[in-house]
Structure formats: C-alpha cells, structure tokens
Amino acid sequence: MRKELLFAIVAGGLFGLVIAFGIWRINSALSPRKGTSSQTESEKPSDASISIAKPSQNDVVGTSPVAISGVTKPNARVVVSGEGKDYFTLADAKGAFSQEVALIGGINELVVIAFDEKGVAGSVSVNIIYSTEFAKPQSTPEPTTEASTDSIRQKVQEKVNEALNSPTAYLGTVTDIAESSIQLKSASGEIQQVGTENSPTVIKDGKTPKAVKLTDIAIGDYIIAMGYKNGNHVISAQRILITTPASPSNRTAIEGAITDTGKNSLSIETLGKESLSATVDANTIVYRLEQDKFTKIKFSSLGEGNLIVVAGVGPQGKLLARTIFYLKSE
C-alpha cells in the first residue's frame, strides 16, 4: 500500500510538472519577443502622437460634412486639411478632438496635423469615400431575445453587427475576374475579394462620368468597390467606380511667429527656433481667431510677431499657403 501511495505521489508530481511546462511554453509563444514588431504595429499610423478614432481607413459615407475625431497630446492645436478646405480646432485637456469636414464626391484624403505645447508637429491621414448612394441607413439585426445575457458576448456581437452594417471600400487593380467575383491587388500588395452577385452599379470616371456594364471591367483596371464586408472579408459590392489611383496630396501645415512679410510671402520662426517660409496667392484665405470664432481678414493685416498656423500644399521650404489661421500676437 505504501509503495502504491508513493508511486501515485511521484506520478502526480511528474504530471503536474508536464502541465506546468506546457503552460510555460504556451505563454512564451504568445508573449511578444523583444526586438520584433507585430504586423499590427507596423500598420499603425506613422506618427504615434495622433490616433484617429473615426472614420476608419476606406470608410464609405453617404452624407457631408463628416466628423473626424481622435486623440493627440493634451491642448494641442489641430489642423484638419480636407480636399477643399482647411479647419482649425483645439484638443481638450485629455487630447481628444473632433472636427466636421466637408467632402467632395469620391476619394477624400483627410490630413490631420497637431502641434503640441513645444510646437512639435505630428501628422496622420485617413482616406474615406463619399457617395450619396450610401446615404440611406442599412437595417440592423434585431437584438437577441435569449435569456442568456452574457455582456461580453453581447458587446462583441454589437461590434460585429456595426462592422457588417458600415459600408467600406476596397481600392486596387483588378487581377482576376470570375462569374460572381472580382479579385483586386491593393497598393500595399494585399489581395482582396469583391462579390458581384448583387449586380452592382458600375460608373466609369472621367470628365463626364457614365454608367457602364459590369462586364466592361477589365483586368488591369483600377477600381473602387463599395459595399458591405462579410465575415470572410469579402465585400458585397453595391457600387463600383472605374477610375485612376489618387496621387498623394502633399498637404501639410506649419506653425510659428511671423518674422517678415512680403507682398506674396511670409517668414516665420517656430517655437523650436526654426526658420520657415510660405508663399501666398489670390486663393489664400486668412482667418483671425476672435472669441473662439474665426473671422476672415486680409493678408495685409498680418504683421511681425503674429502667431499663425499655415495650412497648404508642398514641402515646408516651398509651402503654398491655402489657409492662414492668425491665433494671437506675441
């Protein structure tokens, strides 16, 4: 009996060691290794000082304006540059910000630039597609009536339902065409699947956009497929636009105090003591901040010592000002 008891104790101990070793191996495999980056991390925006909450990349919206919201550094000065207009807002004490932006039909690149208390800038961008065809809300599945009230499962299901009922888009070059699907290759090389079983509307872009047949889409065409994504990451297309890839906007912003002004130019010094310049033209708009509201003023009203934010197009050394926000005098 003692031998059997001793054997049982030893066997139980060995079994416990095996289980413990297995758990340790699993935890080791799941833990991130130092010096490596996950794929998710590599897909984050290039500047960690700004995070966009909404909209998501390649969202399709049916109304304009749309609110863009996110988080940056507390009390940061934020410029949102849309396709046709620039906007200025302030982040709150927790870094949250939100700004409504007017959209143009098709692809809209929204560029967000934030300046912290030291004048250090961060920038991210998000692409969204504006199509009035998606203005009508999609019906949402009714909530479950089962007695079980698992809150975590319910929240997960709500997120899934929200994702499935939010229109999105795939953008890329057609690499294969089947009877009821189209295969795309995105700019990043990702292969994406588009379902065409619902006979989507097809528009060919150009000076005069026109409706064409689904069979007019050819391998090599660049398309924007808009619709709803299923659980297999396949978009069931409702609308397809045959177009060309959008070029990077090269929109940015600079901030500083004016050190000199010319007839069509100005020079500023940033909080970091860097000297920058910008040019203006007949399309440049100047606003002055007064009692939390912006009033349009003339460029000639600006002078040395004025703290401004300049939003425009081009590199910092050759920035063409589209909008100047006059914040205050030093």
pLDDT digits (tens, 9 = 90+) for 143-186: 545 554 566 555 545 554 555 579 999 999 999 999 999 999 99
Does residue 285 carry a pLDDT above 80?
yes
Q: How many Å apart are CA 77 and CA 180, to the nearest integer?
A: 48
Pure H helices in 111-262: 151-164
Q: Are 71 and 54 in contact (CB under 8 A)?
A: no
CA 73 to chain centre: 18
Residue 7: in which H helix or E strand, if any?
Answer: helix 2-30
What phi-psi label fits residue 256: left (phi over 0), alpha (psi between -120 and 50 degrees) or beta? left
CATH of domain 251-329: 2.40.50.140
* % of the chain beyond a pLDDT of 70: 76
Q: Are 251 and 81 in contact (CB under 8 A)?
A: yes
Regarding pTM above 0.75, the answer is: yes
Q: In terms of CATH architecture, what is 46-134?
A: Sandwich (2.60)
- Tell me the CATH number of domain 163-243, given options 2.40.50.140, 3.40.50.10900, 3.20.20.70, 3.90.180.10: 2.40.50.140
Joined tokens for residue 36 = 């490596």
Q: For residue 57, what pLDDT band results from cuts at 50, 70 and 90? A: very high
* pLDDT score for 42: 32
Q: How many CB atoms lie within 10 A of CB 150?
A: 10
Cα-based distances in Å from 52 to 49, 112, 116, 156: 10, 9, 16, 21
Residues 6+ apart with CB under 8 A from 273: none
Q: Are 245 and 224 in contact (CB under 8 A)?
A: no
| Higher-confidence position of 226 and 207 | 226
Does residue 298 carry a pLDDT above 80?
yes
Cα-based distances in Å from 206 to 162, 203, 244, 265: 34, 10, 9, 36
CATH 2.40.50.140 domain extents, the chain: 163-243, 251-329
